[in-house]
Amino acid sequence: MGGPTSIAVPAPEGANSVAYQQEVQALKASLGNRTQEQTEAVKYWASGGVLRWNEIARKLVIKYNVAPAANADGTFPAFDPTNPFTNPPFAARVYALMSVAQYDALVTAWHYKHQYGRMAPKKTDPTLATLVPDTDLPAYPSEDAVIASASVQVLKFLFPRDSVYLNTLAEQHRNSRLWAGANVPSDLMAGNAVGKAVAVQVIAYAKTDKMGAARDPNNTYVAPEYTSPSWKSLEVPARPPMLPLYGKVTTWFDRVALEATLPGPPPKIGTAEFTNALQEVRRISDNRTREQWRIADFWADGAGTTTPPGHWNIIAENLIRKNNLNELRAARVMALLNRTVMDAGICCWSTKYQYYIPRPSQMDPEIKTSTGLPNFPSYTSGHATFSGSAAVVLGYLFPSEASTLSAWAEEAAMSRLYGGIHYRFDNDAGLACGKGVGRVAVDWAKNDGAPQ
C-alpha cells in the first residue's frame, strides 16, 4: 500500500545495552523449559510463515466454498459477510489481499532490519540452544511476527467467525520464535506492529474496492441481448447469477491495459461456428475417455476445494519450496501471482456478463457434465483465464519452469471442454485473455524495484 517508510519503527535497544542483554538472558533461561509441543510448533512455522498462512487461507476457502441453500420459498438468503461463499472470484480476492499484506509488511520489515542491523540473540550469546539455523539477517523487527500479524488481521476481516482460531495460530507463530531461541520479545513486538499497520492499510483498500456491490445488492444488473437464448440458471430453484458486477471491482494493475486484453464477441447461436462447437462438446460427452475424465477431475476445483486460484497458489508454493526462496521472495511471488489471478477473474467476469452465453448443457440437455455446473454464463472460461494469467507470471518468476507451466494452463483450459462445462471458444478466448493479463503484470513487475 504505502512505501516502507510510511510506517515508523522505533530504533531498538542496542545489542550491548542492559535492556537487550536482559532479554537475551531471560530467553536463554526459558529454553530449558521448552516442551515437545513447543518444539513441534517451531518446526511447523520454521518451514515458512508466508506459505503456512497461505495454507491456512486455502483451508478457510475450502471450509466456506459451499453455495448457500435456498429458502423454503425458493428465494436465496442475503449475503452474510460473516459466512461468505468462497467461490473462485471471492477466493482470488482472499489470496490477493492477504498476499499483498504479507509482502508490503515484509518490505517494510526488511527496510528497518537493515537500517538498524540488530542481529539474532545467538550472535550475542552463542551458547543459546536454538532450534533454527543461524542467519545473517537482522532480527529486528521479526519477519515471523510481521507475517503472522499481517496475515491474521486480513483473514479475520474476511472470515470473522474464525477470529478466535486465527488469533490462536498467530500467537503460536509469534511464540514459536521465542521457543526456537531466534527472537527476543522486542523483535516480536516491533514485527507485530508493522504487520498490523500494513493490514490496516490493506483492509481500508478492501473496503473501497467495489466488491461489496459485485453481488448487485440493489438489482441494477440488466442482462444483455447479445444472443438468444441467453444464459439462465439451471439450478432448481433458479439461483441468481454469481457476482454479476464483479467485472467492475477495482483492479490491482492498470485498468486500461487490462481492458485491452478482453476478447471480442463469441460466435452467435445459430451460426455454423457455434453449432460446430456445441457438437464437439456433445461428442466428448458421449465418448469421454479415461484420460479426459482424469484431466477434468484434476482441474475441476469446484465446491469444497481451494478453487482454481487456490490450485495455482499450490503450484506456486511447490516452486517456492523447490527453489528455497526466503520469506521476502516467497511473499513477492504470492503477491504478484494472486493479484494477477484476481485481475484475470475481473476481466473474465466482465466478459461473461457482457455476452451472457448459455452453457453447452443448456443448449443440449443430453450433454453429460463430469462436474458441477457453475451458476454463471459460459463465455469466457474462468479456469482458462485464471490459468493463463498464472502461467505467464510464474513462468516469468521461474523461467526454467515456463514451458511446463504453459502446458498446465493449456490442460486446465481443455479440462473444461472435457468436462462438458465449456465450448472450445470459451477456453481459447479465456486463455488468451489470461495470458494478456499475465503480461500486464509482468510488465509491472519488471519495474517494481525488486531484484529478479
Is residue 198 within 8 Å of residue 104, measured between CB atoms?
yes
In a domain, 247, yes or no: yes
Identify the pLDDT of residue 68.
94
Same-domain check for residues 103 and 221: no
Q: 233 with 124, same domain?
A: no
**Could you tell me if residue 142 is inside a domain?**
yes
Whether residues 317 and 397 fall in one domain: yes
Would you say residue 452 lies in a domain? no
What is residue 451's predicted lDDT score, i.e. its pLDDT?
Answer: 75
Same domain membership, residue 436 and residue 396: yes
| Rounded CA separation 221/214 (Å) | 10
Tell me the C-alpha distance between 266 and 379, whole Å: 7
Q: Is 193 in the same domain as 218?
A: no
Domain final residue, candidates 188, 206, 224: 206
Q: Give pLDDT tens digits along the chain (452 positions).
A: 677 888 999 999 999 999 999 999 999 999 999 999 999 999 999 999 999 999 999 999 999 999 999 999 999 998 899 999 999 999 999 999 999 999 999 999 999 999 999 999 999 999 999 999 989 999 999 999 999 999 999 999 999 999 999 999 999 999 999 999 999 999 999 999 999 999 999 999 999 999 999 999 888 899 898 999 999 999 999 999 999 999 999 999 999 999 999 999 999 999 999 999 999 999 999 999 999 999 999 999 999 999 999 999 999 999 999 999 999 999 999 999 999 999 999 999 999 999 999 999 999 999 999 999 999 999 999 999 999 999 999 999 999 999 999 999 999 999 999 999 999 999 999 999 999 999 999 999 999 888 76
Residue 344 to residue 38: CA distance in whole angstroms: 41
**Which three cell numbers mark 419?**
468436462
Q: Out of 147, 171, 206, pick the residue that ends a domain.
A: 206
In-domain check, residue 426: yes
- 177 and 227 inside one domain: no
Question: Are 187 and 251 found together in one domain?
Answer: no
In a domain, 451, yes or no: no
Note whether 390 and 288 are same-domain residues.
yes
Check residue 166 and give its pLDDT: 98
Amino acid 452: pLDDT: 65
Q: In angstroms, rounded to a whole number, what is the distance separating the alpha carbons of residues 318 and 174?
A: 24
Is-contact 375 239, C-beta < 8 A?
A: yes
What integer pLDDT is reported at residue 426 of this predicted model? 98
> How many CB atoms neighbour CB 72 within 10 A?
6
Predicted pLDDT of residue 3: 77
Residues 258 and 342 in one domain: yes
If asked whether residues 283 and 424 sit together in one domain, one would say: yes
Domain count, the chain: 2
Residues 376 and 231 in one domain: yes
* Domain end (from 180, 206, 232): 206
Q: Identify the pLDDT of residue 405.
A: 98
Q: Are 395 and 406 in contact (CB under 8 A)?
A: yes
Residue (of 139, 159, 150, 143) closest to 102 by Cα position:
150
| CB 278 within 8 Å of CB 363 | yes
The answer to pTM > 0.95 is: yes
Please tell me whether residues 59 and 147 are part of one structural domain: yes
CA contacts within 13 A on the Cβ side of 74:
4
The pLDDT of residue 449 is 83
Specify the CATH number for the domain of residue 253. 1.10.606.20
- Domain of residue 315, residue span: 214-445
Can you tell me the distance from the alpha carbon of 42 to that of 177, in angstroms, rounded to the nearest whole number? Answer: 7
For residue 450, tell me if it sits in a domain. Answer: no
